[in-house]
Amino acid sequence: MASLWRYLLAGLGLAALLAGVLAIVYLTAPHSAPGPDIARSKKTANGLFVAGIQPERGTVRQGELHSWLLTLKTVAGAPVEGAAISVSGGMPQHNHGLPTSPQATDYLGEGRYRIEGLKFTMSGVWQLRFAISAAAGSDSVVFNVVL
Protein backbone atom coordinates (compact mmCIF):
# COMPACT_ATOMS: atom_id res chain seq x y z
CA MET A 1 0.00 0.00 0.00
CA ALA A 2 2.80 2.32 0.95
CA SER A 3 4.40 1.77 -2.46
CA LEU A 4 1.18 2.85 -4.17
CA TRP A 5 1.37 6.15 -2.29
CA ARG A 6 4.93 6.54 -3.47
CA TYR A 7 3.78 6.07 -7.04
CA LEU A 8 0.97 8.55 -6.48
CA LEU A 9 3.37 11.14 -5.12
CA ALA A 10 5.81 10.52 -7.94
CA GLY A 11 2.93 10.79 -10.45
CA LEU A 12 1.85 14.10 -9.00
CA GLY A 13 5.40 15.36 -9.17
CA LEU A 14 5.68 14.35 -12.79
CA ALA A 15 2.35 15.96 -13.59
CA ALA A 16 3.43 19.20 -11.96
CA LEU A 17 6.69 19.15 -13.90
CA LEU A 18 4.86 18.55 -17.19
CA ALA A 19 2.37 21.31 -16.40
CA GLY A 20 5.29 23.64 -15.81
CA VAL A 21 6.94 22.74 -19.10
CA LEU A 22 3.64 23.12 -20.97
CA ALA A 23 3.09 26.51 -19.35
CA ILE A 24 6.53 27.73 -20.43
CA VAL A 25 6.00 26.44 -23.96
CA TYR A 26 2.60 28.14 -24.11
CA LEU A 27 3.80 31.45 -22.68
CA THR A 28 6.89 31.72 -24.88
CA ALA A 29 5.28 30.45 -28.10
CA PRO A 30 4.69 33.19 -30.67
CA HIS A 31 1.04 34.12 -30.59
CA SER A 32 -1.16 33.70 -33.62
CA ALA A 33 -0.48 35.83 -36.67
CA PRO A 34 -2.06 39.30 -36.67
CA GLY A 35 -5.68 39.23 -37.82
CA PRO A 36 -6.97 41.01 -40.91
CA ASP A 37 -7.01 44.79 -41.08
CA ILE A 38 -10.35 45.73 -39.58
CA ALA A 39 -9.99 49.50 -39.87
CA ARG A 40 -13.35 51.16 -40.51
CA SER A 41 -11.75 54.16 -42.25
CA LYS A 42 -8.97 54.20 -44.81
CA LYS A 43 -7.65 55.72 -48.02
CA THR A 44 -8.94 54.17 -51.22
CA ALA A 45 -6.51 52.03 -53.25
CA ASN A 46 -5.17 54.88 -55.40
CA GLY A 47 -5.45 57.47 -52.69
CA LEU A 48 -8.25 59.49 -54.33
CA PHE A 49 -10.66 59.36 -51.39
CA VAL A 50 -10.85 58.60 -47.71
CA ALA A 51 -13.66 56.10 -47.08
CA GLY A 52 -15.28 55.19 -43.80
CA ILE A 53 -17.96 52.60 -43.04
CA GLN A 54 -20.25 51.96 -40.11
CA PRO A 55 -23.43 49.94 -39.59
CA GLU A 56 -26.30 52.43 -39.68
CA ARG A 57 -27.76 51.21 -36.40
CA GLY A 58 -24.42 50.78 -34.67
CA THR A 59 -24.31 46.98 -34.46
CA VAL A 60 -23.90 44.19 -36.99
CA ARG A 61 -26.36 41.34 -36.59
CA GLN A 62 -25.60 38.02 -38.22
CA GLY A 63 -28.27 36.73 -40.58
CA GLU A 64 -30.32 39.93 -40.89
CA LEU A 65 -30.59 42.41 -43.70
CA HIS A 66 -29.27 45.74 -42.53
CA SER A 67 -27.78 48.94 -43.87
CA TRP A 68 -24.40 50.62 -43.50
CA LEU A 69 -23.24 54.16 -44.07
CA LEU A 70 -20.30 54.82 -46.36
CA THR A 71 -18.69 58.21 -45.84
CA LEU A 72 -16.52 59.57 -48.66
CA LYS A 73 -14.19 62.52 -48.29
CA THR A 74 -11.40 63.89 -50.41
CA VAL A 75 -7.91 63.63 -48.96
CA ALA A 76 -8.31 67.32 -48.04
CA GLY A 77 -11.41 66.40 -46.03
CA ALA A 78 -14.15 67.76 -48.32
CA PRO A 79 -17.26 65.58 -48.67
CA VAL A 80 -17.53 63.69 -51.98
CA GLU A 81 -20.93 64.27 -53.56
CA GLY A 82 -22.66 62.59 -56.48
CA ALA A 83 -20.52 59.44 -56.36
CA ALA A 84 -21.58 56.29 -58.20
CA ILE A 85 -20.93 53.35 -55.90
CA SER A 86 -21.05 49.63 -56.49
CA VAL A 87 -20.70 47.07 -53.73
CA SER A 88 -19.24 43.59 -53.92
CA GLY A 89 -17.40 41.26 -51.60
CA GLY A 90 -17.67 37.88 -49.98
CA MET A 91 -15.70 35.44 -47.88
CA PRO A 92 -12.29 34.67 -49.37
CA GLN A 93 -11.87 31.71 -47.00
CA HIS A 94 -14.98 30.04 -48.38
CA ASN A 95 -14.72 31.10 -52.02
CA HIS A 96 -18.11 32.72 -52.13
CA GLY A 97 -19.47 36.18 -52.70
CA LEU A 98 -21.97 38.12 -50.66
CA PRO A 99 -25.31 36.34 -50.12
CA THR A 100 -27.10 39.54 -51.18
CA SER A 101 -26.50 42.36 -53.69
CA PRO A 102 -26.21 45.49 -51.56
CA GLN A 103 -26.75 48.84 -53.23
CA ALA A 104 -26.10 52.48 -52.48
CA THR A 105 -29.71 53.65 -52.18
CA ASP A 106 -29.51 57.17 -50.81
CA TYR A 107 -27.26 60.18 -50.40
CA LEU A 108 -27.58 61.62 -46.91
CA GLY A 109 -25.35 64.70 -47.32
CA GLU A 110 -21.86 65.43 -46.01
CA GLY A 111 -20.39 62.66 -48.13
CA ARG A 112 -22.54 59.96 -46.50
CA TYR A 113 -24.18 57.25 -48.61
CA ARG A 114 -26.62 54.62 -47.36
CA ILE A 115 -25.67 51.08 -48.41
CA GLU A 116 -28.73 48.86 -48.10
CA GLY A 117 -29.17 45.11 -48.33
CA LEU A 118 -26.10 43.78 -46.52
CA LYS A 119 -26.40 40.41 -44.85
CA PHE A 120 -23.67 38.39 -43.17
CA THR A 121 -24.85 34.81 -42.94
CA MET A 122 -21.93 33.26 -41.08
CA SER A 123 -19.14 34.15 -38.69
CA GLY A 124 -15.66 34.73 -40.05
CA VAL A 125 -13.89 37.33 -42.15
CA TRP A 126 -16.04 39.15 -44.70
CA GLN A 127 -14.70 41.50 -47.36
CA LEU A 128 -16.65 44.51 -48.54
CA ARG A 129 -15.40 46.16 -51.70
CA PHE A 130 -16.67 49.54 -52.82
CA ALA A 131 -15.98 50.75 -56.34
CA ILE A 132 -16.36 54.53 -56.33
CA SER A 133 -16.65 56.87 -59.24
CA ALA A 134 -16.90 60.63 -58.65
CA ALA A 135 -15.73 63.93 -60.16
CA ALA A 136 -12.19 63.30 -58.91
CA GLY A 137 -12.01 59.94 -60.68
CA SER A 138 -12.58 56.26 -60.00
CA ASP A 139 -11.11 54.28 -57.15
CA SER A 140 -11.92 51.37 -54.91
CA VAL A 141 -11.49 50.30 -51.32
CA VAL A 142 -11.76 46.98 -49.48
CA PHE A 143 -12.80 46.65 -45.85
CA ASN A 144 -12.66 43.54 -43.70
CA VAL A 145 -15.55 42.92 -41.37
CA VAL A 146 -15.04 40.19 -38.80
CA LEU A 147 -18.06 38.47 -37.28
Partner 1 sequence: MSRLLRFLALAGILLAAGCGKPDFSDAEKTTIASLALNTLPALKPDTTNRFADVPAAAALGSTLFFDQGMSRDGNVSCSTCHKIDRQFQDDLPQAVGVGRTNRRTMPLAGVARDPWYFWDGRRDSLWAQALAPLENPLEHAGNRAAFAHYIQKRFGERYERIFGPLPDLSTVPANASPLGNEAEQAAWKAMTPTQAGGVNRVFANIGKAIAAFERSIEPAQTRFDRFAINLASGAKPIGDAAFSPEEKLGLKLFIGKGNCVTCHNGPRFTDNGFHNTGVPPVKDLPLDRGRFDAVAQVQADPFNCFGAFRDGDASACGELRFMVKAAPELMRAYKTPSLRGAATRPPYMHAGQFSSLEEVVAHYAKAEAAVEGTSEVHPLQLSDRERAALVAFLKTLSE
Binding site for partner 1 (CB under 8 A): 7-8, 10-12, 14-15, 18-19, 22, 62-63, 65, 94-103, 116-117, 119, 121-124
Identify which of residues 6 and 82 has a Cβ nearer to partner 1 in the complex. 6
Length of the chain: 147
**Which H or E run includes 24?**
helix 2-28
Beta bridge partners of residue 17, listed in sequence order: none
* Closest CB 3 distance from partner 1, rounded Å: 9
Identify which of residues 15 and 146 has a Cβ nearer to partner 1 in the complex. 15
Identify which of residues 75 and 146 has a Cβ nearer to partner 1 in the complex. 146
* Closest CB 65 distance from partner 1, rounded Å: 4
* Closest CB 78 distance from partner 1, rounded Å: 30
Contacts of 139 (CB under 8 A, 6+ apart): 44, 45, 46, 47, 48, 49, 132
Burial 3-18 (b: 16+ CB within 10 A, else e): eeeeeeeeeeeeeeee
* Closest CB 64 distance from partner 1, rounded Å: 10
